[in-house]
Amino acid sequence: MMTVFYIVMGGDEAMRYYMEAYLSIRTFQKQLSPDLGRICVITDHPSFFRKAGVEVITITAEQKAEWMGPHKFFFRTKIKGMEYLHNLYPDDDLLYLDSDTFLYGSLTTLKARLDEGHGLMHLCEGKPTDISHTAKRLWKKAVGKTYGDILIGEQHQMWNAGVVGLPCKKISETVACALTLCDGMLNDGNNEFITEQYSYSIALAEHTSLTATSDLIGHYWGNSMGWKDKVYEIFMQAYLNDLSLEEELKALNIDELCKTPYYVRRSSTAAKLHRLVDRMFKVREVKSVKNGCA
């Protein structure tokens, strides 16, 4: 069995992530059968998933704080969530997904890779020093240090952690390794938002035959704004037409979904100019209905 899972937390300010998770779930449900696996969502707002047709696991504020750890590092929950579900389903392969993902390839092929013992992440991004200023800064703080029994050097690539899959027999040791790496770097003040990502990249490379899933799963972190309207349209079509789960799955066109670019490189100068214009030409008048008016 395979357990596919998401971690989605936050209130109204995180509504976009809930809608993205719904869409991602639906793309997996189009192929999922009871003998192949289940889908779980770990959330602090279980009511948002009443109509998702998935298993919902409620996380309390105390659990969330414990998973984030003493440094209050949110992305540590992605490692602790894997640990939690392995304890819950010790015989299952586990596949974690960010909300901004979608399945466009064969789920059977994906499961076969786990059955063959492969560890899965979305894709290899390259050496940390070649990716971004953030990744380079992370690596410079960690290089030459040992966490657990792993010396950080140039031998490990950075992988995208929008997808993290582990065969059941490799979960305990790999998750323990990722947690040791993450906590060690956090304790050393290395709290970049990609610290968990690098920890998973190293742990899976050390304990599994690490394999990409980008040929089967799309991850549109590089065009979030471009997908915003698409996700909203699909979500509202289902709501306004009061579609059943079966009707939603039938209406969901994966080929059409794939036409929306998952990555768009935008000009940084354009973004700076937009911010400058917003500062120079501020909103001059706001009107609203006053409390108590008919």
The pLDDT value given to residue 265: 83
Backbone angles phi, psi at 7, to 5 degrees: -125, 110
In a domain, 284, yes or no: no
Nearest to 41 by CA among 29, 59, 23, 28: 59
In a domain, 234, yes or no: no
In a domain, 242, yes or no: no
Q: Are 162 and 219 in contact (CB under 8 A)?
A: yes
Distance from chain centroid for Cα 161:
7
Q: Which structural domain, as residue segments, surrounds residue 209?
A: 2-219
The CATH number of the domain where 105 resides is what? 3.90.550.10
Instruction: Please enumerate in sequence order all residues whose Cβ is within 8 A of that of 25, keeping only pairs 6 or more positions apart, or say none.
Output: 6, 39, 41, 52, 53, 54
pLDDT tens track, the chain, 294 positions: 999 999 999 988 899 999 999 999 999 999 999 999 999 999 999 999 999 999 999 999 999 999 999 999 999 999 999 999 999 999 999 999 999 999 999 999 999 999 999 999 999 999 999 999 999 999 999 999 999 999 999 899 999 999 999 999 999 999 999 999 999 999 999 999 999 999 999 999 999 999 999 999 999 999 998 999 999 999 999 999 999 999 999 999 999 999 999 999 876 776 676 677 778 778 778 887 876 555
In a domain, 274, yes or no: no
Dist. CA 39–CA 46, nearest whole Å: 14
For the chain, the domain total comes to 1
The pLDDT value given to residue 110: 97
Instruction: Give the pTM.
Output: 0.93
In a domain, 277, yes or no: no
In a domain, 30, yes or no: yes
In a domain, 126, yes or no: yes
* Torsion from C-alpha of 223, 224, 230, 233, nearest 10 degrees: -170
In a domain, 192, yes or no: yes
